Amino acid sequence: MQNRIFQITAHGVGYEHSNGLRLFSSLNFSMGAGRFGLVGPNGIGKSTLAKILSAEISATEGEIHVSHPVTYLKQMEDRPEQTVGEFLVDIWESAQLDAVTQETLLGDIPFERSLKLLSGGEWTRVRMAKAISGNSGLLILDEPTNNLDRDGKQRIVEFAHGFQGNLLVISHDRELLEAMGTIMEMSNQGMRVYGGNYSFYEQQRRQEIEQEQSTLNQLRREKKKTERELHAKVDTQEKRMRRGQAIADKGGIPRIVVGGLKRAAQVTLGTINANETQRAELASSEFQSHYAGMRTQSTLRLKDLGVKMPADKLIFSVEDFNFRFAGAGSKLWPQNLTLHMKGPERWAFAGKNGAGKTTFLQLLLSKGEFPQGEVYGRLAVGTLRASLIDQEYSMLNSDQSVLENIMDVCTKGAEWIRNELAAFQFFADRVHQKAESLSGGEKLKLCLAKVFLADVVPDLLVLDEPTNNLDLTSLEVLEDVLLCYQGALIVVSHDSVFLEKIQTREVRLLQS
């Protein structure tokens, strides 16, 4: 897979499910050697395209030409009953896995360990090592950093930076995308290719969207102008006709002349109507065509969210604090915790998976009552209202509609709620869609709506791995909302870019 001349060419590629649902169509793009990042909204068909490129499935329309075999590493794969060494027994004869890549991917993983005992990140890296050793021209990684802790993510990022072969990464991890040389964006408008890393793509995309919006505003103004001119000219001609009729009614003008003038005036009115209506329709058509060609965006109408909190308000305080699960032989943290949070501070709990971050949140929100075990030291929680958005979006009632979920916490009436839900991208009949049928990004937005449209907005908002499985647009929405929130914020996340953007302070919990 190293230093291989490689080429993919796609013309009019599309895919339609057997039930007739069209996933995407008319994709035109080419790929050569290098490192590529594939981004786009969830559900747009990125993983399906990867399956087409690797010949796992066939496109239902168009043509695609691939110069060398492609290896597609899915997000999830069952683990065989083998040790790491047994699983990788064939890779040592391959010339494709160089020493540096081997150390990056496998350096900290014991070969005698069972695959069943590996963490998610370790299992991903073992599969990557085996895939690289194969004789293919391109390796496709599908969300390789999902659910990994900081150390696990860093190893994947280091691999991407150092890998000399051809790589296509499907990801929303902005740090990983920085290691790519080209970004490909799938959207409702097809495929766009940007010759640079994520920062370059983000800058170019922002400029394109601003230009698209500027053009849309200009076309909107032109549309309204032509409509006003149509009405004005028709109104002026009708006034002339009424004045002429009034003069004719007074007499003094031969009837044959009056008739001729009336016919001429009607012809003039018809001409004005035809010409100006054509101009107005053309302006309207140009506006609608440009609007339809714009990429779908997910933006919120935001304002300050929540009541400003006094700087000295107690959020929580723990002194010489620790916890031991029922039946466990040791305490959760190697050192007792002493932490004090006051006012509208923003904290990000850091640490490896298994360091007790989620457990600490559970103890905090339950004031030490959950989970079951023995609490050591002092835990004090201020008088405040707290809301938790967890990885399962458990605050939502899956059997209820979007509207019903909000009505559970808001007494302002269905009409007011529907108007406000539009700000969270739930328009028209979308408010009647069941929560269980929403995508991950849509569930997140519904959770945010349920928090911020409630009769009482929380003083403390807690988010546990909120960025998992979110596309880039949903990430931007979340960041915008959290920047507008004025209460205290606690976040558990391994996404360093996200944590930097929402301006959090890192608080590290050490693993025992």
| Final residue belonging to a domain, choices 170, 196, 222 | 196
In the structure, what pLDDT confidence band is assigned to residue 245 with cuts at 50, 70 and 90? low
In the structure, what pLDDT confidence band is assigned to residue 244 with cuts at 50, 70 and 90? low
Cβ-contact 391, 146 below 8 angstroms: no
Q: Does residue 375 sit in the same domain as residue 469?
A: yes
Give me the residues paired with residue 72 across strands.
140
Which three-class secondary structure state does DSSP give residue 386? strand
What pLDDT shows up at residue 297? 55
In the structure, what pLDDT confidence band is assigned to residue 355 with cuts at 50, 70 and 90? confident
Query: In the structure encoding, which two tokens stand for residue 394, read together?
Result: 């458990």
Residue 412 lies in a domain: no
Which three-class secondary structure state does DSSP give residue 435? helix
Which three-class secondary structure state does DSSP give residue 222? helix
Distance CA 226, CA 221 (A): 9
Q: Does residue 147 sit in the same domain as residue 281?
A: no
Q: Does residue 172 sit in the same domain as residue 85?
A: yes
Domain count, the chain: 3
What pLDDT shows up at residue 3? 47
Looking up residue 462, the CATH number of its domain turns out to be: 3.40.50.300
Residue 114 lies in a domain: yes
The parent domain of residue 45 ranges over: 8-196
More confident position, 347 or 286: 347
Q: Does residue 71 sit in the same domain as residue 107?
A: yes
Q: Does residue 17 sit in the same domain as residue 145?
A: yes
Residue 436 lies in a domain: no
pLDDT in tens, 383-407: 999 999 998 899 999 999 999 999 9
Which three-class secondary structure state does DSSP give residue 179? coil
Alpha carbon 448 to its chain centroid, in Å, reads 14
Average pLDDT over residues 462-467: 91
The stretches of 193-338 forming alpha helices (DSSP H) are: 198-249, 255-292
pLDDT in tens, 129-142: 999 887 789 999 99
Residue 205 lies in a domain: no
Distance CA 388, CA 489 (A): 10
Interior/surface letters 127-151, b for 16+ CB within 10 angstroms, e for the rest: bbbbbbbeebbbbbbbbbbbbbbee
| Final residue belonging to a domain, choices 165, 196, 227 | 196
Query: In the structure encoding, which two tokens stand for residue 82, read together?
Result: 């083998």
DSSP 428: G
Residue 308 lies in a domain: no
Cβ-contact 487, 461 below 8 angstroms: yes
Q: What are phi and psi of 21, to 5 degrees?
A: -75, 120
Residue 322 lies in a domain: yes
Average pLDDT over residues 98-116: 87
Residue 83 lies in a domain: yes
Cβ-contact 42, 445 below 8 angstroms: no
Q: Is the pLDDT of residue 278 over 70?
A: yes
What pLDDT shows up at residue 475? 87
Distance CA 338, CA 336 (A): 7
Q: Structure pTM?
A: 0.77
- Comparing 181-185, 189-193, 419-423, the range with the smallest average pLDDT is 419-423
| Final residue belonging to a domain, choices 152, 170, 196 | 196
Average pLDDT over residues 406-428: 91
Q: Does residue 102 sit in the same domain as residue 130?
A: yes
